[in-house]
Structure 1
Amino acid sequence: MCRVTSRIAALAIDAVNPRVVAEFWCAALGWTVVGTDPDGLTIGPADGAWPTIDVFAVPERKSVKNRLHLDLRADGGSTADELRRLLDLGARRVDVGQGPDVSWVVLADPEGNEFCLLSRTVQEVLSAP
């Protein structure tokens, strides 16, 4: 039997303006700022659950596609409604070569960090056999 020795504690996002990026992700995920330091902010669920997201300042703007990204699912509403909500929060659609026939939507946060909105909602996944 394999002994588990690590757990994801936090994901990190680099940002020229950490406050703007943190506010976007707080609104998108329903999270809050749970810590600050001179270089950035930590956001997470209000109940203190893991993982959190650290948003830290860097001097350069993002210039290439992310090698790691978040996949989101609508929770408590339709995927179409969630897409509209994310766009209203400041996300924008992006093309990373995904093609026209994919079942997800590729978006980017206010500084261009890509993420996907998956087609099936949390409730659809949980109720599937």
Structure 2
Amino acid sequence: MTSRFTELVVDCHDPQRLADFWCGVLDFTVLDRTADKVEIGSWEPTVTAVRAGQMPPTLLFIRVPEQKTMKNRLHLDVSPIDATTDEEVARLLALGATLVDTDQDHARTWTVLADPEGNEFDVLRTLATTTPDTPGAGTE
């Protein structure tokens, strides 16, 4: 017997606002929407596909009445694939993220941002390949 990781659920006040934000971050699309929940993903899950093998989970935003009160115990990490880390941080800030913490002492290799409802997430090092237009970007 086994299970599959199929959805990551995020409690929030405005499911559509967070779904729009995360669709912009991850290039996901809306898979399902009701008044109190929005599911987004990079693929359309089917029972057959899920049973065949582990696929990326979808994100499900569900409306709840309570406020976020402390640091997340679970968070997402994202890695830019076609830009430098600094360029991706700037793009995500323009989408509505807020800066929580930067790698001031270079002991870490990530930047902590928060989505429009204050849920922290990390932007890790870029996965873009080094090109003459992006000196120092990427890792092999």
TM bucket (normalised to shorter chain) is 0.7 to 0.9
**Counterparts of 1:122 and 1:51, CA distance in 2:** 23
Runs of 4+ aligned residues of structure 1 deviating over 6 Å after TM superposition are: none
2:115 paired residue among 109, 112, 120: 109
- Contact 2:81/2:126, CA 8 A, preserved across alignment: no
- Return the alpha-carbon distance in structure 2 between the equivalents of residues 99 and 75 of structure 1: 23
Aligned residue in 1 for 2:127: 121
**Count of aligned pairs:** 120
Contact 1:32 1:43 in 2 (8 A): yes
The structural deviation recorded for 1:61 is 1.7
1:32 maps to 29
Structure 1, unmatched stretches of 5+, are none
Three-state SS of the structure 2 residue aligned to 1:20 is helix
Is 2:83–2:126's contact at 8 Å kept on the other side of the alignment?
Answer: no
The aligned amino acid for 2:12 is A
> What residue number does 1:48 align with?
44
Task: Output the aligned Cα RMSD.
Answer: 1.9
Amino acid at match of 2:30: V
Q: What's the TM-score once normalised by structure 1's chain length? A: 0.84
Give me the whole-angstrom Cα distance separating, in 2, the residues matched to 1:99 and 1:81. 17
Q: Give the distance between the partners of 1:54 and 1:73, measured in 2 at CA.
A: 21
Corresponding residue SS for 1:94: strand
Structure 1, residues 76-119: CA drift from partner, whole Å, max 9, x if none? 11111111100000001114xx8743210000000000100002
2-structure distance, mates of 1:20, 1:114: 16
Aligned match of 2:100? 94
SS in 1 for 2:74: coil
Distance 1:21 1:122 in 2: 26
Which of structures 1 and 2 has the bigger CA Rg?
2
